């Protein structure tokens, strides 16, 4: 009988000690998890930044950068994108002449970077990376009296009809203007249409990028040459330039003496990374992954997104 009581007492004590041990282990695990969460939270907080990154970019990227990339980049890093859009040649000239201060330059044509390369141009650019492309198309006003013709006839026959109002950018300010002239001249040679050569030489149809886009939207133009990605972002219907192949090839670089280097590198990593590429594809850009560099001096921090 006494032996049975001692056995029951031993079992009861064992269960009590086992329960206490389990409770201690559980509390330890919870404390460890809390400490881990605290460390992770502190790390996440430490990863947040503040300040601006000043980007000068081809005007055809304005909607994408301001409405999609910019807000997502801020949420991910804490940095704020300050984007200045315009004709690539005009922006490059402003950077070269020191009339503006920028961190990142995005051009719609690789050749524009030569305006910023070398000692005579200030040595602003020592490398650039090609990261996306977009075909050149003819965007048009869906309410134009020529809209049906554009949908049913070759574009090069419609734009020479009496009363047709055509727009394009200035080739000295924007690569898009160069592409428009190339499309007109190449088509004129292939189709034996001298009227297109005359159009290519006229300057009365030249507009800035923003004016050109608004001209279609408010009915001042029947159609305008533009990038397909730009037409999509502006919700403008368009027709392809059948018979010729012209496209914008976008490049990006971190400018020498950039005042916000860390923010600039973070922006480039974001734009060329998975989230930036997803946004580019959603806007119908042709994405190069990874981006392809030319020149020397790509920062180590960008080697993961630039080859």
What is the token pair recorded at 237? 């219907």
User: For residue 215, what pLDDT is reported?
Assistant: 59
Do residue 147 and residue 234 come from a single domain?
yes
User: For residue 14, what pLDDT is reported?
Assistant: 43
* Residue (of 205, 196, 146, 150) closest to 176 by Cα position: 205
User: For residue 277, what pLDDT is reported?
Assistant: 97
292: phi then psi, degrees, rounded to nearest 5: -110, 120
Q: Is residue 67 part of a domain?
A: yes
Q: Is residue 27 part of a domain?
A: yes
User: For residue 92, what pLDDT is reported?
Assistant: 98
Looking at 200, 225, 247, which one is the last position of a domain? 247
Do residue 38 and residue 59 come from a single domain?
no
Q: What is the CATH number of the domain that holds 146?
A: 3.40.190.10
Q: Is residue 254 part of a domain?
A: no
Looking at 206, 222, 247, which one is the last position of a domain? 247
Q: Is residue 141 part of a domain?
A: yes
Mean pLDDT value across residues 9-23: 46
Which pLDDT band, with edges at 50, 70 and 90, does 21 fall under?
very low
User: For residue 106, what pLDDT is reported?
Assistant: 98
- 249: Cβ contacts below 8 Å, ≥ 6 apart: 108, 109, 110, 130, 132, 133
Do residue 13 and residue 85 come from a single domain?
no
Q: Is residue 253 part of a domain?
A: no
Do residue 130 and residue 263 come from a single domain?
yes
Domain limits for position 9: 1-47
227: phi then psi, degrees, rounded to nearest 5: -80, 145
Whether the ω angle into residue 290 lies within 30 degrees of 0, i.e. cis, is: yes
Q: Is residue 298 part of a domain?
A: yes
Mean pLDDT value across residues 52-79: 96
Do residue 272 and residue 286 come from a single domain?
yes
3-state secondary structure of 112: helix
User: For residue 290, what pLDDT is reported?
Assistant: 95
3-state secondary structure of 293: strand
- 38: Cβ contacts below 8 Å, ≥ 6 apart: none
Q: Are 134 and 265 in contact (CB under 8 A)?
A: no
Between CA 231 and CA 229 the distance in angstroms is: 5
- What Å distances lie between residue 94 and 87, 106, 169, 213, 260, CA to CA? 11, 13, 18, 23, 18
Which pLDDT band, with edges at 50, 70 and 90, does 300 fall under?
very high
Q: Of the ranges 19-23, 93-97, 200-204, 295-299, which one carries the lowest mean pLDDT score?
A: 19-23
Between CA 170 and CA 136 the distance in angstroms is: 15
Do residue 37 and residue 59 come from a single domain?
no
Q: Is residue 252 part of a domain?
A: no
Between CA 83 and CA 62 the distance in angstroms is: 8
Do residue 170 and residue 243 come from a single domain?
yes
- Residue 20 in this model has a pLDDT that exceeds 60: no
Do residue 148 and residue 237 come from a single domain?
yes
Do residue 129 and residue 224 come from a single domain?
no
- Residue 143 in this model has a pLDDT that exceeds 80: yes
What is the token pair recorded at 279? 């946004």
Q: How many separate domains does the chain show?
A: 3
**Residue scoring higher pLDDT (163 or 30):** 163
For the segment 216-272, what is each residue's pLDDT rounded down to a tens digit? 767 789 999 999 988 888 888 999 999 999 999 999 999 999 999 999 999 999 999
Do residue 10 and residue 80 come from a single domain?
no
Q: Is residue 307 part of a domain?
A: no
User: For residue 41, what pLDDT is reported?
Assistant: 40
- Residue 26 in this model has a pLDDT that exceeds 70: no
Do residue 73 and residue 118 come from a single domain?
yes
For the segment 144-187, what is each residue's pLDDT rounded down to a tens digit? 999 999 999 999 999 999 999 999 989 999 999 999 999 999 99
Do residue 99 and residue 181 come from a single domain?
no
């Amino acid at each position: 009988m006494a032996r049975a009581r001692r056995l029951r007492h031993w079992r009861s004590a064992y269960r009590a000690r086992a329960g206490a041990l389990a409770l201690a282990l559980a509390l330890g695990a919870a404390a460890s998890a809390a400490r881990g969460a605290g460390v992770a939270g502190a790390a996440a907080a430490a990863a947040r930044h503040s300040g601006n990154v000043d980007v000068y970019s081809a005007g055809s990227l304005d909607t994408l950068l301001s409405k999609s990339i910019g807000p997502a980049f801020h949420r991910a890093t804490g940095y704020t994108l300050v984007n200045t859009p315009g004709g690539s040649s005009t922006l490059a000239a402003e950077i070269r002449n020191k009339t503006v201060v920028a961190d990142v330059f995005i051009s719609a044509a690789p050749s524009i970077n030569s305006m910023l390369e070398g000692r005579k141009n200030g040595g602003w650019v020592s490398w650039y990376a090609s990261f996306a492309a977009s075909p050149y198309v003819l965007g048009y006003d869906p309410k134009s009296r020529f809209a049906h013709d554009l949908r049913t006839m070759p574009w090069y026959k419609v734009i020479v009809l009496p009363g047709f109002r055509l727009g394009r950018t200035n080739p000295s300010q924007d690569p898009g203007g160069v592409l428009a002239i190339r499309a007109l001249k190449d088509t004129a040679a292939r189709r034996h249409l001298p009227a297109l050569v005359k159009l290519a030489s006229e300057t009365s149809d030249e507009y800035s990028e923003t004016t050109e886009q608004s001209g279609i939207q408010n009915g001042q133009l029947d159609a305008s040459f533009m990038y397909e990605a730009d037409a999509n972002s502006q919700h403008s219907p368009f027709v392809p330039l059948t018979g010729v192949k012209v496209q914008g090839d976008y490049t990006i670089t971190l400018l020498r003496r950039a005042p916000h280097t860390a923010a600039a590198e973070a922006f480039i990593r974001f734009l060329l990374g998975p989230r930036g590429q997803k946004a580019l594809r959603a806007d119908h850009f042709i994405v190069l992954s990874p981006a392809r560099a030319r020149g020397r001096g790509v920062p180590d921090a960008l080697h993961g997104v630039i080859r």
